[in-house]
Amino acid sequence: MQLAQAVIRNPSTIAAELARLQDARANLVLAFGTGQHLRALAAHLPVAFPEARRAGCSTAGEVSAAGVTEDSCVVTAIRFEHTRLLQASTTLTSMDDSQAAGRRLATQLSPEGLRAILVFGQGVRINGSALLVGVGEVLGSQVPISGGLAGDGDTFQETWVLDDHGARNDSIVALGLYGERLIFRHASFGGWSPFGPARKVTRCADNVLHELDGEPALEVYKHYLGEYAKGLPASGLLFPFAMLGSDHRETGLIRSILGVDEREGSLTLAGEIDPDGYLKLMHASTDALVGGAEAAADAVQQTLRSDRNGLALLVSCVGRKLVMGGRVEEEIEAVGAVFGRQALLAGFYSYGEIGPHTPAGSCRLHNQTMTVTWIGES
């Protein structure tokens, strides 16, 4: 397996930067950057890498071996020696189309020999949980899935997804990875702490939360946010919900706010809501979030042989970036310190992370986590 990477800050240098990566003879190119960079890059990739699969998305910040950048594009060229790739893509017509979109993606991926899936989806008008349910309906829950939902800084206006056909603002791309020699490890950890009382979900529809304890959900949420309520929906990233079961036990899943509806008094969350469960607000410190990122990397690294080298795909939530501010580099440095020379880092800050709910469990949509996926070959 060969790896090469470039961080492109000026779109006018794209052709020159891609030329530096061609020695890797890539059969997969991953790109994460601003919508502007991604659209400009899409025109150059078929020329520079005509035989490679191409995938990626827009971001709320880019991750590379050099750290965290903004207003850039991180391009990683990957040469698999023993792994076959198959790409699937589909248009997402609306949020209600998410589960059907997952089924459409899955039907394009042959189940024979399928070892893992990478998914990158548009991040604004999507129910990420329903998307994964749709994939599972076709392919089952045993195939590991990693990836994330595209970002748009902290504006939540328009996101972009890159596939073999170019960059679009309404699509989802999936990469099927095939081959017995593929090594695919992943883990997700947060670092957030719950506070305040648990509130009963009394009315919701899919990922739209209408009522908590019989009161309009937005009204309850604004009460807790105080001055921060003026900055919704972006300020909601600082105060996500912990999901609790009907027995008040934490499920390990966190949900961020994607949007608010002032007229309906509702909140749109990034993933599914348990209609019989409870929600509890959360907050975090930078030190706790860095610790969560380090824990995710540790969980993956402990499963690897010391002589294994590969790609560490990092997908972290934009909410974590907003909390950490100028210290955001620290969580990437913590992951890098765990892997050392065993991994080239690449990834992005997202509107939702895809990974396992538990080490041996099925893959779910997460919010506010650092999700680490290590990809290599034996």
For 288-302, what is each residue's pLDDT tens digit?
A: 999 999 999 999 999
Average pLDDT, the chain: 94
pLDDT value at 205 more than 80: yes
Mean pLDDT score, 297-325: 94
Gap between the Cα atoms of 351 and 338, Å rounded: 25
pLDDT value at 360 more than 60: no
Predicted confidence at residue 361, as pLDDT, reads 57
> By the 8 A CB rule, do 215 and 267 touch?
no
Question: CA angle at residue 22 from 43 to 332, to 5 degrees?
Answer: 85
Measured distance between the N- and C-terminal CA atoms of the chain, rounded to whole angstroms: 9
For 94-108, what is each residue's pLDDT tens digit?
A: 999 999 999 999 999
Cis peptide before 233 (omega within 30 of 0): yes
C-alpha to C-alpha distances, 310 to 84, 145, 261, 336, nearest whole angstrom? 16, 17, 44, 13
- What percent of the chain shows pLDDT beyond 90? 88
Q: Residue 329 belongs to what H/E stretch?
A: helix 329-339
pLDDT value at 315 more than 80: yes
For 240-276, what is each residue's pLDDT tens digit?
A: 999 999 999 988 889 988 889 999 999 999 888 999 9
> By the 8 A CB rule, do 332 and 345 touch?
yes
> By the 8 A CB rule, do 206 and 127 touch?
yes
For 145-194, what is each residue's pLDDT tens digit?
A: 999 999 999 888 999 999 999 999 999 999 999 999 999 999 999 999 99
The pLDDT-based confidence of 357 (bands split at 50, 70, 90) is: low
For 214-227, what is each residue's pLDDT tens digit?
A: 999 999 999 999 99
C-alpha to C-alpha distances, 199 to 220, 231, 274, 328, nearest whole angstrom? 9, 23, 12, 31
pLDDT value at 308 more than 70: yes
> By the 8 A CB rule, do 354 and 366 touch?
yes
Domain boundaries defined on the chain = 2-189+287-377, 193-280
Gap between the Cα atoms of 160 and 367, Å rounded: 19
Mean pLDDT score, 303-330: 94
Predicted confidence at residue 234, as pLDDT, reads 84
For 130-143, what is each residue's pLDDT tens digit?
A: 999 999 999 998 89
